[in-house]
């Protein structure tokens, strides 16, 4: 019992370590940190628009609320200072003939309310600027212009955040696992991808990168070395008609990095397969990229995907997403090298072999039959 628990615990630790080492998560987020960056963080403030768009919603809404509340309170203080300098406040006991800069400002609270009414252009009419004070007129113009700028920037940032093509990528899904089986007489690595919307992605292109650690002949260790993985779709790699789920596959030939892997050794490999799907959103014409990744534990050798598309009696095509990531075991060679050796042996068997030492001798036939 103790040995069983120890084995389960060690396997759980190995699985957690592999998950931590994943560069790209299943939903496409990159797990990477930048350390000892020489450039100051001021460069991020120069590109303030991208910085605001990349912020999470909780930080964006905090900045949104703080920008408005801060500007209202700041200008409220300025309006209070103007009333204080002009001696419009009740504690100065102004005369009956005294004309204030702003009517009906009696303290900091009323100054804050007037600042809010001015910036959001409410205009209740109870508090208003008079023509007797040039400072108040200038402050009114300045706050109105600054309020329009703040309102345009913050509302534009929220609208751009909502309409980003990154959100469109969430309606593109990949299968949970990749499978390896025969397809068209060749050993292939297959992945299923589906578009959850009826609107298409224009000019879609699918490709992959295999990330692994390699050692060069010079002895240099390269972490996250990238190897191109070419994926093929039966309908063509360019301008996919991406209305129904597609099965993309990579042929494991002698040029493939999976050629020297086998069913018994693939779990011992240290790699991460990152799959990319680029396209243009049909509704907004914005470019979109979807990413996902597969580690050795998520590559199933000797399986294929279950059928997912069917046709109803009414003539409609139905996609059953319950079988989207479902796999079925099939007979598959345990390595690509064995499959190609078997095919070459069959070809040689059909061709046969010539024996140069064989000599054909003619024998004359004689008849021993007597009449």
Q: Which domain holds residue 322?
A: 168-350
| Pair (129, 210) in one structural domain | no
- Where in the chain does DSSP place strands (E)? 172-174, 178-183, 186-195, 201-215, 221-229, 246-251, 271-281, 287-294, 299-301, 303-305, 309-311, 317-319, 327-329
- pLDDT of amino acid 44: 72
Q: Low-confidence residues of the chain, pLDDT below 50?
A: 18, 20, 360, 369-371
- 315 and 288 share a domain? yes
How far is residue 139 CA from its own chain's centroid? 47
Residue 46, both tokens? 């120069």
Confidence (pLDDT) at 180: 93
Task: Supply angle C-alpha 195, 298, 227, rounded to 5.
Answer: 85
Answer yes or no: is 323 within a domain.
yes
Residues 189, 131 share a domain = no
Residue 39 included in any domain:
no
pLDDT of residue 12: 56
Q: pLDDT digits over 22-54, tens only?
A: 888 887 778 777 776 666 667 777 778 888 888
- Residue 179 shares a structural domain with residue 256: yes
Residue 263 pLDDT: 87
* Domain shared by 246 and 177, yes or no: yes
DSSP string, 160-212: HHHT-HHHHGGGEEE-SSEEEEEETTEEEEEEEEEESSSSPEEEEEEEEEEEE
In a domain, 259, yes or no: yes
User: At 88, is the secondary structure helix, strand, or coil?
Assistant: coil
Which residues are bridge partners to 153 per DSSP?
none
Same domain? For 148 and 207 the reply is no
Cβ(200)–Cβ(282) below 8 Å: yes
Return d(Cα 193, Cα 308) in angstroms, integer: 12
Tokens matching residue 208: 């992959």
CATH code of residue 99: 1.10.287.70
Same domain flag for 267 and 177:
yes
How high is the pLDDT of residue 164? Answer: 75
Same structural domain for residues 224 and 139? no
Which one-letter DSSP state was computed for residue 298?
Answer: G
Considering the domain architecture, whether residues 138 and 194 belong to the same structural domain is answered as no
């Amino acid at each position: 019992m103790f040995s069983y628990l120890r084995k389960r615990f060690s396997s759980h630790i190995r699985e957690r370590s592999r998950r931590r080492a994943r560069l790209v998560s299943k939903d496409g987020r990159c797990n990477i940190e930048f350390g000892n960056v020489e450039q100051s963080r001021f460069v991020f403030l120069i590109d303030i628009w991208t910085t605001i768009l990349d912020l999470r919603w909780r930080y964006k809404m905090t900045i949104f609320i703080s920008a408005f509340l801060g500007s209202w309170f700041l200008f409220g203080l300025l309006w209070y200072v103007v009333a204080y300098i002009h001696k419009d406040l009740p504690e100065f006991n102004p005369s009956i003939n005294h004309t204030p800069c702003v009517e009906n400002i009696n303290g900091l609270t009323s100054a804050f309310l007037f600042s809010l009414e001015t910036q959001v252009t409410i205009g209740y009419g109870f508090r208003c600027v008079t023509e007797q004070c040039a400072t108040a007129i200038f402050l009114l113009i300045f706050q109105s212009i600054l309020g329009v700028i703040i309102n345009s920037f913050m509302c534009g940032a929220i609208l751009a955040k909502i309409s980003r093509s990154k959100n469109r990528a969430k309606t593109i899904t990949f299968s949970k696992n990749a499978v390896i089986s025969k397809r068209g007489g060749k050993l292939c690595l297959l992945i299923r991808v589906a578009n959850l919307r009826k609107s298409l992605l224009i000019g879609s292109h699918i490709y992959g990168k295999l990330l692994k650690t390699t050692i060069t002949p010079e002895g240099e260790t390269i972490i996250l070395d990238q190897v191109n993985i070419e994926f093929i779709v039966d309908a063509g790699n360019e301008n996919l008609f991406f209305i129904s789920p597609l099965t993309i596959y990579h042929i494991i030939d002698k040029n493939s990095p999976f050629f020297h892997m086998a069913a018994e050794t693939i779990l011992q490999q240290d790699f991460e397969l990152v799959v990319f799907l680029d396209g243009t959103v049909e509704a907004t014409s914005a470019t979109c990229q979807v990413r996902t990744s597969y580690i050795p534990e998520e590559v199933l050798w000797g399986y294929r995907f279950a059928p997912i598309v069917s046709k109803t009696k009414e003539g409609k095509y139905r996609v059953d997403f319950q079988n989207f990531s479902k796999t079925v075991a099939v007979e598959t060679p345990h390595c690509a090298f064995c499959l190609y050796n078997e095919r070459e042996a069959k070809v040689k068997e059909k061709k046969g072999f010539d024996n140069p030492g064989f000599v054909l001798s003619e024998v004359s036939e004689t008849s021993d039959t007597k009449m």
